[in-house]
């Protein structure tokens, strides 16, 4: 079976491609390398450099390759950046989705697995969050992904392109051998920044706000290992191939960790001190995001392998110690 991964050079995309190759799939990657890394792509995948907003480029790829299903991981995904530059997010994410679906329709491709996000919920009405709960994003990033979900729904109704949207909570960790991992420029995510401090590349860890409505005042998030996310996509493709209807699933561990708890866990895993300071709140951060992921477990048969935060941080630390400056070290 041939699978096209849009955004396959990115953090989650590169782990997805690696897992697909190891499972015996024929893999095609499209990526414009705006945030991804060519070195992150498993060399057994066929790589086309280009932008999903470019219809000619996509049509050309679909004419050269016989693709059975598309995994769409090609989006900008930084909450703070989206607050500063919403049009960048709506342009890249929403237009990219429209163009991809147009090209899939022309090529007759019927299955799409989409990387959605917990940011679609905004400040949730209850914890843990169920798929059906109110969706009221508090940042343009989450809004762009919610619009993308709506577009897929109507496209399915009209043209029968079936989709699974996977709402990730906080993706973290790396392939266990440390050969691929998270490398963003600039890095804004909690765990890689904590590990930068642990590695002595940054003096102190700024905690953005300690006056949230949470037990220790810092934001609570639900961390899920990147390889467990990859597994869920493979299960979602199988679900669609069996003729099941389009569907939406949360992907999280169902356990919340505060920012302070993550820093403590990183101290334990790395054996480093990790100095911290309290900084002002960052815009667009909901108090708490924790998933109920029962639906993915029951319907898709998803069984996350990394079920504790120490083991997730350990894999990110292995990547960090092997590649202190990310892919630049290769
Ligand atoms: N944080 C700090 N200091 C830092 C960096 C982050 O205190 O230097 C805090 C943030 O304020 C937040 C928490 O760490 O409270 C997690 O922040 P991240 O940037 O790591 O992750 P987000 O929760 O903002 O967003 C991530 C993904 C989104 C996804 C979201 C869903 O980047 O794509 O999880 O939960 F939508």
Chain segment 219-277, per-residue pLDDT in tens: 999 999 999 999 999 999 999 999 999 999 999 998 999 999 999 999 999 999 999 99
| SS3 assignment, position 224 | strand
Mean pLDDT of the region 6-29: 98
Tokens in use for 214? 């949470």
Nearest CA to ligand 1 atom 32: 78
Confidence of residue 39 (pLDDT cuts 50, 70, 90): very high
* Residue 207: its H or E element: strand 205-208
The pair phi, psi for residue 244, each rounded to 5°, is: -75, 160
pLDDT tens digits, 277-301:
999 999 889 999 999 999 999 999 9
Confidence of residue 329 (pLDDT cuts 50, 70, 90): low
| Residue spans per domain, the chain | 2-172+224-251, 190-221+254-329
Distance 259 CA to ligand 1 centre (A): 9
Mean pLDDT of the region 110-137: 97
- Please give the Cα distance from 105 to 173 (Å, whole number): 35
Which residue from 79, 118, 142, 256 has its CB within 8 A of the most atoms of ligand 1, so it is best to mutate? 79
Work out the angle at residue 143's Cα, subtended by the Cα atoms of residues 145 and 34, and round it to the nearest 5 degrees. 55
**Beta carbons of 96 and 75 less than 8 angstroms apart:** yes
Place of tokens 């917990």: 118
Nearest CA to ligand 1 atom 12: 219
Place of tokens 């590169």: 14
Class of domain 190-221+254-329: alpha beta
The set of protein residues with a Cβ atom below 6 angstroms from ligand 1 is: 77, 79, 117-119, 169-170, 188-190, 193, 206-208, 219, 221, 259, 282, 285, 289
Between the CA of residue 140 and those of 86, 145, 223, 250, what are the distances in Å? Answer: 6, 9, 21, 20
- Please give the Cα distance from 267 to 32 (Å, whole number): 36
Place of tokens 């989650």: 12
Q: Which residues contact 108 (CB under 8 A, 6 or more apart)?
A: none
Domain covering 2-172+224-251: architecture: 3-Layer(aba) Sandwich (3.40)
pLDDT-wise least confident of 45-49, 84-88, 221-225, 305-309: 305-309
pLDDT tens digits, 48-74:
999 999 999 999 999 999 999 999 999
Mean pLDDT of the region 189-205: 97
pLDDT of residue 104: 98
So what's the ipTM on this one?
0.97
Nearest CA to ligand 1 atom 28: 77
């Amino acid at each position: 079976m041939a699978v096209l991964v849009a955004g396959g050079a990115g953090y989650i995309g590169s782990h997805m491609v690696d897992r697909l190759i190891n499972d015996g799939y024929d893999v095609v990657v499209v990526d414009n390398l705006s945030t991804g890394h060519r070195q992150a792509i498993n060399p057994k995948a066929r790589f086309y450099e280009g932008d999903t907003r470019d219809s000619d480029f996509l049509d050309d790829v679909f004419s050269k390759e016989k693709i059975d299903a598309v995994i769409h991981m090609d989006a900008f995904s930084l909450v703070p950046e989206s607050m500063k530059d919403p049009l960048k997010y709506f342009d890249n994410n929403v237009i990219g989705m429209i163009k991809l679906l147009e090209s899939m329709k022309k090529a007759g491709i019927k299955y799409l697995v989409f990387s959605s996000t917990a940011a679609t919920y905004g400040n949730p009405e209850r914890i843990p969050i169920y798929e059906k709960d109110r969706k009221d994003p508090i940042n343009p990033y989450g809004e762009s992904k919610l619009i993308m979900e709506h577009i897929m729904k109507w496209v399915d109704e009209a043209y029968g392109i079936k989709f699974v949207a996977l709402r990730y909570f906080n993706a973290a960790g790396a392939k266990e051998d440390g050969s691929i991992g998270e490398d963003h420029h600039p890095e804004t995510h909690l765990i890689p920044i904590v590990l930068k401090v642990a590695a002595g590349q940054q003096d102190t860890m700024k905690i953005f706000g300690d006056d949230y409505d949470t037990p220790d005042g810092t934001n609570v998030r639900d961390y899920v290992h990147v390889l467990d996310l990859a597994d869920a996509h493979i299960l979602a493709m199988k679900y669609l191939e069996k003729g099941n209807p389009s569907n939406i699933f949360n992907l999280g561990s169902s356990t919340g960790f505060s920012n302070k708890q993550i820093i403590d866990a990183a101290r334990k895993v790395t054996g480093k001190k990790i100095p911290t300071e309290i900084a002002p709140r960052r815009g667009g951060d909901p108090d708490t995001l924790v998933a109920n992921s029962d639906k993915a477990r029951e319907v898709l048969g998803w069984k996350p392998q990394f079920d504790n935060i120490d083991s997730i941080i350990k894999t990110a630390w292995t990547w960090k110690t092997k590649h202190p400056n990310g892919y630049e070290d290769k």
